[in-house]
Structure 1
Amino acid sequence: MRYSYEYKRKCVQLHRQGKWAKSPDGISTRNFHNMIRKWARIEDANGALALQHPAHNKAWSAEEKLELVSRVLAGESNKSVACKAGISDGMLYNWVRRYKTEGYNGLVGKKKVRKQKDQSMKKNMNIDRPRPLVESEREELIRLRAENASIKAENEVIKKEIALREEKEAARLKAKKQRSSKNSGKKDIS
């Protein structure tokens, strides 16, 4: 639910007087009180205007994100840093998690692309020129090609072993058949 700036200010003022505003329908009293406490912390950290809805979402640069993440990693609480910055603590948590897993590159904004349902709908896509490989991708490609070559060689050896076994088995069966036919020929004569 989206609350107006005036309503938030009224709720925070009542909270500071030790009173609570009536919680809206469909929202538990406990959750609503937590929300009012959060609004009060935001107002304390950033002033009353921080409770207004921004005209647009701020685009955070990687350096700004890194500054907030480093404060969290230095020991400040996630909620206090997020409150002072005027963002949700969930967003800051995601930045910290991505920084821990991907490093600085995890904080760099990535363009979100919606996947199209039909591949034939792609426009102006130059399929002839693939994107250049990153160094780590190139190393992995070399490693995978070498592994693929060794697996192919191993498969060839196994195929040859199977063919030799089948050849030996066929020769053994042929020799056995010849012996049995010689033996049966001798029996017929006697």
Structure 2
Amino acid sequence: MTIPTEGELIQVHSYKHNGHIHRVWQETMVLKGTRNIVIGANERTLVTEADGRTWLTREPSICYFHAEHWFNIICMLREDGVYYYVNMSSPFVYNNKSLKYIDYDLDVKVFPDMSYMILDEDEYEVHSKQMNYPEVIDQILRNNLDRLLGWIKQRRGPFAPDFIEVWTQRYEFNKQVREDK
């Protein structure tokens, strides 16, 4: 597997379990790329839905992807604080300047005070039947949801107090480097 490099612009592709494309983020700047972790950032990037509709993201976001955990975390930087949107998903793969994962419907919204809501459980149940999610996938996702909730409560990973500050500064630095070229 190739590894994206800092400052590189990549696409993010979300698929469904049946292999169909779900959503594509046109441009995310890599802030850190290793075999296990990709941290990226974007703002006002074009997003294309499976049905062809497009929209622009509203605020700057720091994105956290892991090659071993079955979730990814979008940290949305808003005026009233950082909101987190977590997709329960397959670990990422990276090739051809695209980071790819399978979206498994379950989502967690985390508020600046670290309270949270689990979303789309009904969608997960419907798609689980429609796309025949194997029992092992269900168990992996449930275990990773528990791990994620532990991270939130313990303020680990992207939920750590200094995470946003560190990666926002790195993003600003990389944007400046691009502008100076």
* Fold shared by both chains (TM-score > 0.5): no
Q: TM-score, normalised by structure 1?
A: 0.19
- Highest RCO, 1 vs 2 (Cα 8 Å, sep ≥ 6): 2
Q: TM-score, normalised by structure 2?
A: 0.20
User: Which structure has more strand as a fraction of its residues?
Assistant: 2
The structure with the largest alpha-carbon Rg is 1
User: Which structure has more helix as a fraction of its residues?
Assistant: 1
